[in-house]
Structure 1
Amino acid sequence: MYTVASVLGGDIGKFPFQVYRRSGSSIKRDTKHPVARLLGKKANPYMTAYTWKETMMVNMAVWGNAYSNIEFDGNGYPKALWPLDPALTQVYMDVDGAVYYLTRLPNGQIRKLVPDEVVHFKSIGNGLVGITPIEVIREELGIQQAQKRFLGRFYSKGTQVGGILEVQSDVPLTKDTKDVIREEFEKATAGLDNAARVAVMDKTMKYTPLGMPLKDAEFIDSAKFGIAEIAKIYKVPGYKLGISDLKYSNMENQSLEYVKNTLQPLVTNWEQELDDKLFTLPEQERFYVKANMTSELRGDMQTRAAYYKTMIEAGVYSINEVRAMEDDDGIGPDGDKHFMSLNFANLANMDTYQNAKAGVKGGEDNQKGNPIPESDGAGDESGAG
């Protein structure tokens, strides 16, 4: 559970959440807006942006809800984001349908907050609050705890669960004799310290093991099953939890699936909540938050090089934009230019394009005094005239 929360917290925490501004058809990144500093530098005087994002994601993974109180400055702009303890924060709805939050601050004070004062990231739930995934997997966790208790007893008893010690004798053994034989045998086999010792028995004795040996692969598979179930509920690939033996190519495919099916929905959830709570209604017409997930999608050097080449040739990215993605400095104003291949034309304009090319060629030939090439039929007619 800790590993899952740590993986999700680290992956969301490392994404830069950037502020963008629309101006007509132009969209540019805005680094001057107060929200840009909160999400890119420091969320509050004691927490960096990464620490705040990681904390919120861990709370969301463990509790199903993550809350932060928004502190505003005198001009109405967000000044700081203060995480609230999800164990001490509750969401209520009054008889009029108004939603409010009650939380206990670290100093013990009970405070009532309205939705506009709270950033609330929630998992799947009733729309008002999220349901903690722990509730969903509680039964599975109970099975794992039972397995741990079994393992504890298993190891404490040595290499075998139990067995029957048969004594080949025509005379029934007395209780004292059985106790002596059992005691001597257990001294040689019980406990971790004696796990590799050999039990010396009389030739009239035969030992028949019962139960499951430690090396039994089925037991290992059952232990892995519990972790796999938790990973499935959180949609975290097994290789991130150390329970998968994948080749590199398959791992790369799973990484892409992880980004698309796990991280992308979380990021969209965060982006919409941040837009709604950190910008005023007029601002929401121009400003929005977007997470830069390029680092997670760009793959190895060869894949990135091919991707950048295609995007530059299609005119989507400029050289400076590509260099910025690689955390390199721009090359100046020329690097902001976009390029497009001249080998492409709109299908609707193909006839016009071809006719224009033919017309230009004919004009050039006339200017040089060269005759315009004609078909054989046209030549015959000309000669006859």
Structure 2
Amino acid sequence: MRLFRSLDYATDADPNWAGSLLADGTLPSFRGGYVGISALRNSDVLTAVSIIAGDVARFPMIVEDKAKETIVPLENVEYLLNTKVNGRLSAYQWRFAMTVNAILTGNSYSRIVRDPLTNEPSMLEFYAPSQTEVDTTDPNHVVYRFTPYNSGYTIVCQQEDVLHWKFFSYDTFTGRSPLLSLGDEIKLQEQGIGTLKSFFGGGLKGSVLKAKGKLSADARKKMREDFERAQSGAASGAPVVVDDTVEYQPLEVDTSVLNLITSNNYSTSQIAKALRVPAYRLAQNSPNQSVKQLSDDYIVNDMPFYFEPITTEAEMKLLDDEQRHKFKIEFDTSKVSGPSVQDVASMKTNGIIVGNEARQKLGMKSIDNPDMNRLESNLNTIWLDQRAAYQAAKAATKGGDAHEGNSHDDNAD
């Protein structure tokens, strides 16, 4: 959103534009640095955002046939989403930046540049939230205005030509950052770190000076200032020199308070919960599960919160109406969370999936071979409704063999 605009426009189009900037963290507010780029100063937030953005950027996006559940080679869309979005950005950089902005500010934007002849998407232009203005005056025709840095012009786009990522929204127009709920937790963590810095920075100087006689308030103040001036410039741990009129006694610090600060994992666990990141990824104790189980649970149950808004937005803006009825866009996580090779082989040999489906589940490309699209079976199984007839035929065959054997015996006699 633009920070500077005419008063008339602010009144007519969006009278609450300043409040929106405050809520998004574009302008500083009482929330401090808990939203926006400044939130990355917190190491837990930086780690969690890096994990999510990295996972969104590294998993390939594929186009699947809804009916056949096979990968469709829609090269133009796949190239933009997985390889290169424009002359400056790779798909990985673009997806990473889009995810970071969507988490920190609630929204991320990219303009779709289409081929003038075919109207197919040919390039994606990334714009920061500070470069973007969203006009929702007409809810049925949302207008986006992009103002590139150091430029005197504005690009006006309709909603079908803009990829707008928002992971949490209550009005369908504007996204909200999950960091908005973490103000108290991050503040508590910062206060604990501040206490540690204060202790290690000047904790050894805490002491009690006992002087002989009764001193007035001014005398005590002057005595403290003289003592501090005498000790200024001394290295940490240097000896303290006093005369026989003063008794110096260093303060004993209760280290249990420091232990409580350093062992307080509440803020970290709250950040992990709000951003849907496994706690063990933020150096927290994990449940009694293997890393593989935790990783699979994270991809299956947590990452769809980020995957689904991205894929549905891509389907709405990058596919035409006919394609949307036939195809769907998904993240391919099979190389990380897919079934084991043994499980896939078992499904294939038991006629549950065909060969190319097995290769797809293992993250491999299909093979152009007719036999790879046929269901397999084995001779050790039979249809349930044919079991009785099979057993009767088998019993009859055994009976016939026995009878024939007896006949031969009689003839021999």
Q: Which SS does the other structure have where 1:44 is aligned?
A: coil
Q: Which SS does the other structure have where 1:57 is aligned?
A: helix
Between stretches 83-92 and 206-215, larger displacement belongs to 206-215
Evaluate the alpha carbon distance shift between residue 267 and residue 345 of structure 1 in structure 2; reply closer, same or farther with a 3 A threshold: farther
Matches within 5 A, 1:208-287: 209=251, 212-213=254-255, 216-222=258-264, 224-241=265-282, 243-246=283-286, 249-287=289-327
Q: Is the 8 A contact 1:235 1:261 kept in 2?
A: no
Q: Which SS does the other structure have where 1:28 is aligned?
A: coil
Q: Which SS does the other structure have where 1:29 is aligned?
A: coil
Q: Structure 1 CA distance, aligned partners of 2:401 and 2:345? A: 41
Partner of 1:76: 119
User: Deviation at 1:325?
Assistant: 5.5
Evaluate the alpha carbon distance shift between residue 362 and residue 27 of structure 1 in structure 2; reply closer, same or farther with a 3 A threshold: same
Between stretches 304-313 and 127-136, larger displacement belongs to 304-313
In the alignment, is residue 6 of structure 1 matched against residue 50 of structure 2? yes
CA displacement 1:203-230 (0-9 Å, x = unmatched): 99573636544882101134x4333322
Between stretches 198-207 and 357-366, larger displacement belongs to 198-207
Q: Match for 1:135 among 133, 155, 180? A: 180
User: Deviation at 1:29?
Assistant: 1.4
Q: Structure 2 CA distance, aligned partners of 1:21 and 1:58? A: 30
User: Deviation at 1:346?
Assistant: 5.7
Q: Structure 1 CA distance, aligned partners of 2:148 and 2:104? A: 20
Q: Structure 2 CA distance, aligned partners of 1:129 and 1:194? A: 53
Evaluate the alpha carbon distance shift between residue 364 and residue 70 of structure 1 in structure 2; reply closer, same or farther with a 3 A threshold: farther
Q: Structure 2 CA distance, aligned partners of 1:321 and 1:239? A: 33
User: Deviation at 1:8?
Assistant: 0.8
User: Deviation at 1:10?
Assistant: 0.4
Q: Structure 2 CA distance, aligned partners of 1:115 and 1:341? A: 54
User: Deviation at 1:49?
Assistant: 2.0
Matches within 5 A, 1:9-20: 9-20=53-64
User: Deviation at 1:332?
Assistant: 7.9
**Paired residue total:** 354
Q: Match for 2:145 among 102, 105, 125? A: 102
In the alignment, is residue 35 of structure 1 matched against residue 93 of structure 2? no
User: Deviation at 1:54?
Assistant: 1.4
Q: Is the 8 A contact 1:365 1:371 kept in 2?
A: no
Identity %: 21
User: Deviation at 1:363?
Assistant: 4.0
User: Deviation at 1:4?
Assistant: 1.9
Letter in 2 for 1:357: Q
Q: Structure 1 CA distance, aligned partners of 2:243 and 2:154? A: 75
CA displacement 1:35-64 (0-9 Å, x = unmatched): 122123212222222222212111111111
User: Deviation at 1:157?
Assistant: 0.4
User: Deviation at 1:336?
Assistant: 5.3
Q: Match for 1:339 among 376, 379, 402? A: 376
Q: TM-score, normalised by structure 1?
A: 0.76
Q: Structure 2 CA distance, aligned partners of 1:199 and 1:357? A: 101
Q: Is the 8 A contact 2:107 2:175 kept in 1?
A: yes
Q: Which SS does the other structure have where 1:83 is aligned?
A: strand
Letter in 2 for 1:68: S
Q: Is the 8 A contact 1:185 1:199 kept in 2?
A: no
Q: Is the 8 A contact 2:143 2:157 kept in 1?
A: yes
User: Deviation at 1:355?
Assistant: 2.2
Q: Structure 2 CA distance, aligned partners of 1:340 and 1:165? A: 91
Letter in 1 for 2:174: V
User: Deviation at 1:148?
Assistant: 4.3
Letter in 1 for 2:181: V
Evaluate the alpha carbon distance shift between residue 78 and residue 140 of structure 1 in structure 2; reply closer, same or farther with a 3 A threshold: same
Q: Is the 8 A contact 1:102 1:110 kept in 2?
A: yes
CA displacement 1:3-44 (0-9 Å, x = unmatched): 22211110111111011235xx53431224411221232122
Structure possessing the higher relative contact order (Cα contacts under 8 Å, 6 or more residues apart): 2
Between stretches 149-158 and 31-40, larger displacement belongs to 149-158
Q: Structure 2 CA distance, aligned partners of 1:163 and 1:346? A: 89
User: Deviation at 1:163?
Assistant: 4.4
Evaluate the alpha carbon distance shift between residue 211 and residue 112 of structure 1 in structure 2; reply closer, same or farther with a 3 A threshold: farther
Q: Is the 8 A contact 1:19 1:30 kept in 2?
A: yes
Evaluate the alpha carbon distance shift between residue 279 and residue 305 of structure 1 in structure 2; reply closer, same or farther with a 3 A threshold: closer
Letter in 2 for 1:304: S
Q: Structure 2 CA distance, aligned partners of 1:117 and 1:59? A: 19
Q: Is the 8 A contact 2:82 2:91 kept in 1?
A: yes
User: Deviation at 1:343?
Assistant: 5.0
Partner of 1:378: none
Q: Is the 8 A contact 1:231 1:238 kept in 2?
A: yes
Q: Structure 2 CA distance, aligned partners of 1:177 and 1:70? A: 71
Partner of 1:52: 94
Partner of 1:115: 159
Q: Match for 1:297 among 337, 350, 360? A: 337
Q: Structure 2 CA distance, aligned partners of 1:229 and 1:102? A: 36
Q: Structure 2 CA distance, aligned partners of 1:208 and 1:96? A: 68
Partner of 1:375: none
Partner of 2:387: 353
Between stretches 228-237 and 254-263, larger displacement belongs to 254-263
Letter in 1 for 2:77: V
Q: Structure 1 CA distance, aligned partners of 2:129 and 2:396? A: 78
CA displacement 1:285-320 (0-9 Å, x = unmatched): 22221211112314xxxx724433443344344555
Q: Which SS does the other structure have where 1:67 is aligned?
A: strand
- Which protein is richer in strand relative to its size? 1
Between stretches 325-334 and 42-51, larger displacement belongs to 325-334
Q: Structure 1 CA distance, aligned partners of 2:220 and 2:184? A: 44
Letter in 1 for 2:199: F
Q: Structure 1 CA distance, aligned partners of 2:71 and 2:139? A: 40
Q: Structure 2 CA distance, aligned partners of 1:176 and 1:36? A: 74
Gaps of 5+ in 2: 1-44, 407-413
